[in-house]
Amino acid sequence: KEHITMNTKRNTLSVKKIRQMIGGEAGLDWVADQLTAVAQMYQIYESAQHEISTKLENLDAEFEVNYNHNPIHHIDGRMKDPQSLIGKIQKKGLDRSVDSIKNNIFDIAGLRVITNYIDDIYTVEKLLSQQDDIEVIRRKDYIKNPKESGYRSLHLVVKVPVFKANDVEKGPVEIQIRTIGMDMWASLEHELRYKTDVNRAEEFAANLVDNANALFDIEQNFQEIHHQL
C-alpha cells in the first residue's frame, strides 16, 4: 500500500537566530521579543499538527489490519505562511499581538484528510474526536450544508496537548476532511477562482455548483457499490 504520511519539512526559527538577526540594534528589542513569541507559537502548532497526523495514520493502519479497508487515501499538511497570517490579521482587524493571534486564528496549522468514501469522513471524525486528549473546538459540516459555491468538506478545529521540556501546551489544528471527489472539485474551483477575473467567475458559478452536485452523486454511487461488496 502506498503511504499516506503527511509530507512536510519543519521550518524552525531559533531564538538564537532571531537574536543574531536583530540583536544589538538599539530600540528593536521588542521586535525580537515578538518574533520569538511567534517562533515559539509556530513550533507548538506544528508539533500539534504532527501529533494529529500520527493519530490519523495510526487509525488508518488499524482499519487496514482489522477491517481490510483504508478510510484515508492521503493526508496533506501545511503551515500558514507568515504573509497570509498578516493578511488575515488585517482582514479581521485583529490586534497585532501573539495573544490575539492565539485567541482568534485557528488555521495556522492545517491538515487535509482525503478519504476514499463519504462515510469514511465521519468515521475519521468520530475516531479522532473520541480520543481522550482531543478537544474539538469548532465543527462545520459543509457536506450536510454545502457552501453556495458548491464546496463540500467537513471542517474541524481540534486542540491536542504538546509536551514541552517543562510544560504542556495545547495547539489548535484545522482539519478539512473530504473525499477524493470533493477534493478534486475544491482544487479546480480554487484554481479557477484565483485565475479568473471576478466578473467572469460569476458566469460559471452555477456550472460549478452543478459539477459539485454531479460529483457527489457519483461518489454516492461508489459508496453504494462499496457497501454491497
Piece of the chain touching ligand GTP by CB under 6 A; list 5-13, 21-29, 44-52, 185-193 = 185-193
By DSSP bridging, strand 168-179 and strand 109-115 are parallel
If binding is defined by CB under 5 A, does position 153 make contact with Mg ion? no
CB atoms within 10 A of CB 131: 13
Burial tier of 57 (Cβ tally within 10 Å: 0-12, 13-18, 19+):
middle
Per the CB < 8 A criterion, the answer to whether 60 and 70 are in contact is yes
CB 175 within 8 Å of CB 157: yes
114-153 footprint of ligand GTP as x/- string (CB under 6 A): --------------------------x------x-x-x--
| Binding-site string for Mg ion from residue 83 to residue 112, where x marks contact by CB under 5 A and - marks none | ------------------------x-----
Q: What angle do CA 36, 42, 44 make, to 5 degrees?
A: 105
Q: How far apart are the C-alpha atoms of 215 and 229, rounded to whole Å?
A: 21
Of 142 and 204, which has the nearer Cβ to Mg ion? Answer: 142
Q: Count residues near ligand GTP (CB under 6 A).
A: 9
Q: Is 186 in the site for ligand GTP (CB under 6 A)?
A: yes
What residues from 97 to 116 belong to the interface with ligand GTP (CB under 6 A)?
107
> What does the angle CA 87 – CA 90 – CA 94 come to, to the nearest 5 degrees?
125
C-alpha cell at 32: 525580537
Of 73 and 140, CB closest to Mg ion: 140
Residues lying near Mg ion in the complex (CB under 5 A) are found at 107
Interacting residue ranges for ligand GTP, rule: CB under 6 A: 107, 140, 147, 149, 151, 155, 186, 189-190
